[in-house]
Structure 1
Amino acid sequence: MIAVIGAGPAGLMAAETLAQAGEAVTVFDQMPSVGRKFLLAGRGGLNLTHSEILPNFLNRYGSDASPQLIDAVRAYPPERLRIWAEGLGQTLFVGSSGRVFPKAMKASPLLRAWLQRLATLGVTFRLRQRWLGFADDGALLFEGAEPLRAEGVVLALGGASWPKLGSDGHWTAVLAENGIPTTPLRPANAGLRIGWTEHFREKFAGTPLKSVAMRWQDRVSRGDGIISTYGMEGGLVYPLTSALHEATASGGKVEVAIDLRPELSEPALAEKLRQIRPRDSLSTGLKRCLALAPNAISLLREVSRDLPRDPGPLAHLIKHLPLTVTGTEGLGRAISTAGGVSWDEIDGRFMLKQLPGVFVAGEMLDWDAPTGGYLLQASFATGFAAGQGMLDWRKPG
């Protein structure tokens, strides 16, 4: 029997890969049902992957991404994931941003069909099983259960975001007991803390800041942000989370710049501002000439109480609106986590070098990815890679 510990996308993909090759697979999870975080990801529309060409897609993992992660996604690319999902009866569509979604816009139909396929393949599930590590003879230890022998193990316990859904990061201590170091888990794709005034927070928390850009040093992110009670979240800020977390981890503050009209150059913006009529209030003029939303106009006033009417300085402020970030949301509220098992700890088959027969997949590995389909894609791809690695390891001779 092969044990897969963790019933998220990476673990279930590893289980399917192994079962399709004829292996007897049992999936263990500490929660009473499977795929809880996967279902949460589908509440706002399950963004499975992205439709952009593969070279651009792979670049989204960053210049410091492990070659092994890139190879795993290349071996199980977005097109293959789309074919897999359609094979489960899920009609997919590509949104205006290039993101790929099931037509149902939620995860539950896909998960139900997937579990039916796994059952047909003979995969069994043992739930409410919290993994505690290994006995001296290598048997698996679960809370309140007898030690269990397995011919191979895939660990896919996730990171440490949304711990109430099962990914609580307890495995870092378990691996440490077995001499396997891990990089500290840190929030990725998490909101930024910004000290709004009470007036701005009460009036605009929960509203979207649409089609803007955020810049910090040489990093630029573009998209929609959501103003929150504590600061800002959403696709605009998530690509910068890891870098800003490191920059503010010791209690420091950093300044980011918001570009409220990234599609216009500063001179072009100043020219539009010259069309504001003298009799118009500045708010009316910004709305009429630039189509700025009320929350964007108020954000300008949040930073500069006395907005200049001179088109030049005002254009510069709109293109370089400074905001002070004091930190990021913690692990419990992050969409995903970075850190974990270093790539140096596994071999080319995704097997731990110090624990032969034990493979690792998903967010347990130290990688980071923006939202937009890249996170789920790599989870599926590393699950497939770990399953294939197990099959290769178990080949006779």
Structure 2
Amino acid sequence: MSEPSRTVHVIGAGPAGLMAAERLARAGVAVVVHEAMPSAARKFLMAGRGGLNLTHSEAIEPFVGRYGAAAGTVGAWLEAFSPTHLIGWAEGLGQATFTGSSGRVFPRAMKASPLLRAWLGRLGELGVEVRTRSRCSGFRRNDDGLAWVFETPEGERVERPDAVVLALGGASWPRLGSDGAWREWLEAEGVVVEPFRPSNVGFDVAWSAVFADRFAGEPLKPVALTHGERTVRGEAMVTRYGLEGGAVYALSAALREAVARDGTAVLTVDLRPDLSVEALAGRLAKPRGKDSATNWLRKVAGLSPAAVGLLREIPGDLPAGADKLAKRIKAVRLTLTGVQGLARAISSAGGVRLDQVDQGLMLTAMPGVFVAGEMLDWEAPTGGYLLQASMASGVVAAEGVLGWLETRPS
């Protein structure tokens, strides 16, 4: 078998970068992956601690709609690497999957580490070289093209690959390697990069000291959260600073923009989304007897102590009448006063603007340089949508590289 005649370097060993490396290696290209951290895919491993959410089983039309303003672009990525493709890919690595009651898809192992070990093993079999502790510090322009500079334990190393895939992540969880330092290099070349903003993040609420001390760390479930015209059912978590959790994250983009625009945002919490106001009022019409308010609301309305505490966070006494109390339970209005920062965000919005790349994700200002993953300006809620789009973008970038190399002389 002849040696590959082309070399591509992938900078960043997260899901997008590793997927690009796999596709390129399968096409016979020599691939080197650079990772600044001591090991690959640290954020991927962190995300998998509570059960790795690979993708989601919902129909493709609503699935694509989860990407908001970027739905048209990301939808094209999903045509190249769909949820069905991702499930088949994972099972091809020996990682059986299952679909949970929420529609989310998980590996049966419920952890990221077995899948990552199998993946890195496959990449090794394909001849992919993974260099850890190899931090890209930018590039230099020479007469013969770009020379990429890496800081390694052995000193500076300069590489001149035939093409480069940048998969350096956004700016969330910077301690795991995605610090957004690449922004300066690209902007210096005329690439337009939107400012980073926290996504899938918690929001500040001015809890009373009593409520924060008593209920921080307690879930509110099931609830329905409403902001504007959109309602999301799921779970929220009380924290000392405010509120977080899957249902909050699903609304985080709109809530973030409202806080930025108005200084605050209003979030309406339905503590019993499975009951109508009338049905709930019927239950609340039962005599309280000698029960405390908390015990009575637990028994007749099915409210947890945290939910009752939330009702009491609203100024004034609890409404006395069953109808009014039912309406309060069904619509607790919370004022969100701020957004947690990028260091606490699961993902980030912002990054390389989508009009700065072609359909193969090559930077139009930098031929031969491709971008994948959270470096690009798109966002999505948790639930499998983040990982799905990141990996799909890696596939699209790899196909873009292959198409571009075909046009270049050997």
Report the 3-state secondary structure (helix = DSSP H, G, I; strand = E; otherwise coil) of the residue aligned with 2:201.
coil
Report the 3-state secondary structure (helix = DSSP H, G, I; strand = E; otherwise coil) of the residue aligned with 1:394.
helix
CA distance in 1: counterparts of 2:248 and 2:211, whole angstroms: 19
CA apart distance, 1:278:
4.8
Report the equivalent of 1:41: 47
What residue identity is the alignment partner of 1:93? F
Report the equivalent of 2:22: 16
> 1:313-343 CA deviation, whole Å, 9 max, x = no partner?
1111111101110111100110000110111
Report if aligned partners of 2:64, 2:74 keep a CA contact under 8 Å in 1: no
CA apart distance, 1:213:
1.1
Report the equivalent of 2:123: 118
Structure-to-structure mapping, 1:253-268, within 5 angstroms: 253-268=264-279
CA distance in 1: counterparts of 2:377 and 2:283, whole angstroms: 47
Matched, 1:92 2:97: yes
> 1:93-151 CA deviation, whole Å, 9 max, x = no partner?
11111111111111000000000000000000122122122201211122341321010
CA distance in 2: counterparts of 1:27 and 1:263, whole angstroms: 49
Report the equivalent of 2:81: 76
What residue identity is the alignment partner of 2:149? L
Report the equivalent of 2:8: 2
In structure 2, the CA distance between the partners of 1:202 and 1:277, relative to structure 1 (3 Å rule), is closer
Report the equivalent of 1:157: 168
CA apart distance, 1:181:
1.5
What residue identity is the alignment partner of 1:38? F
Residues 364-373 or 67-76, more deviating: 67-76
Give 4+ residue runs of structure 1 displaced > 2 Å after superposition: 275-285
Work out which of the residue numbers 192, 195, 200 in structure 2 matches 1:189. Answer: 200
CA apart distance, 1:218:
1.3
Report if aligned partners of 2:64, 2:71 keep a CA contact under 8 Å in 1: no
Tell me how large the CA RMSD over aligned residues is.
Answer: 1.4
CA apart distance, 1:74:
2.5
> 1:10-52 CA deviation, whole Å, 9 max, x = no partner?
0000000000000000001111110000000000000001111
Report the equivalent of 1:133: 138
Q: Which runs of 5+ in 2 are unaligned?
A: 1-6
Report the 3-state secondary structure (helix = DSSP H, G, I; strand = E; otherwise coil) of the residue aligned with 1:307.
coil
CA apart distance, 1:396:
4.6
CA distance in 2: counterparts of 1:305 and 1:206, whole angstroms: 25
Work out which of the residue numbers 350, 356, 379 in structure 1 matches 2:361. Answer: 350
What residue identity is the alignment partner of 1:365? L
Report the 3-state secondary structure (helix = DSSP H, G, I; strand = E; otherwise coil) of the residue aligned with 1:25.
strand
Matched, 1:211 2:217: no
CA distance in 2: counterparts of 1:276 and 1:282, whole angstroms: 11
What residue identity is the alignment partner of 1:154? V
CA distance in 2: counterparts of 1:171 and 1:234, whole angstroms: 30
CA apart distance, 1:306:
0.8
CA apart distance, 1:389:
0.9
CA distance in 2: counterparts of 1:66 and 1:297, whole angstroms: 39
TM-score, normalised to structure 1, is 0.97
Report the equivalent of 2:4: none
Work out which of the residue numbers 304, 309, 327 in structure 2 matches 1:316. Answer: 327
CA distance in 1: counterparts of 2:64 and 2:287, whole angstroms: 44
Report if aligned partners of 1:192, 1:329 keep a CA contact under 8 Å in 2: yes
CA distance in 1: counterparts of 2:273 and 2:66, whole angstroms: 20
What residue identity is the alignment partner of 1:215? T
CA distance in 1: counterparts of 2:66 and 2:254, whole angstroms: 15
Give identity over the alignment, percent: 55
Report the equivalent of 1:379: 390
CA apart distance, 1:379:
0.6
Report if aligned partners of 1:251, 1:327 keep a CA contact under 8 Å in 2: no
> 1:222-253 CA deviation, whole Å, 9 max, x = no partner?
10111111111110100121222222236812
